Structure 1
Amino acid sequence: MNYSYPMDSGWSTEEIIDVIKFFEFVEKAYEGKVQKEQFMGSYRRFKQIVPGKADEKRITDEFQENSGYSAYLVIKKAKEMTTDGYISIKV
């Protein structure tokens, strides 16, 4: 990993850690697999920190620009799954 995570100066240390965990789950979905339940829990926490759609898009787009990994695709795949299981994005 040779990129940085998007941050907001208004976030607390705990919020920064939780946002980084969310992006780490996105990375795991691309680099292997991640359990849907864990990912969605992390995404729900991310949405508590970044509740606005515009801010979510800005932050996830910045992450994708830096990493090449689309949080949107992982979220979409997780929401489309009808059962618990593992999320894996194959490129």
Structure 2
Amino acid sequence: MEYGYPLNPDWTNEEITTVIAFLEAVERAYEKGISVQEVKEKYHAFKEVVPSIGEEKRIGKQFEEASGYSPYQVMQNIKNATTSRVKMQP
């Protein structure tokens, strides 16, 4: 797919890389499936860059509008996961 990631121009290159890594994990959860542990690790690193719940929601909504993939739904699925991998239904 061709779409942009919602990024903050004030972030450092490392912070941008961290946010993109989390959003790519969300993509993989929909496209191929991904380990629960990997998503949790990427989300934890993402929260270091984006500690604000309001900003997290804004980024998630922008990403979902652009890609069709919901970070919120992935994290809800991870929270309730009973297996070591998740695969989201489109």
How many residues are aligned here? Answer: 90
Alignment-derived partner of residue 89 in structure 2: 90
For 2:62 and 2:48, locate their aligned partners in 1 and report how far apart those are by CA, in whole Å.
Answer: 19
Q: Does 1:8 align with 2:8?
A: yes
Structure 2 residue identity aligned to 1:51: P
Q: For 1:1-91, what aligned pairs fall within 5 Å after superposition?
A: 1-82=1-82, 85-91=84-90
TM-score for the superposition, normalised by structure 1: 0.94
For 2:81 and 2:43, locate their aligned partners in 1 and report how far apart those are by CA, in whole Å.
Answer: 15
SS at match of 2:88: coil
Identify unmatched segments of 5+ residues in structure 2: none
Please report the RMSD computed on the Cα atoms of aligned residues, expressed in angstroms: 0.9
Moved over 6 A (4+): none
How many percent identity over aligned positions?
41
TM-score for the superposition, normalised by structure 2: 0.95
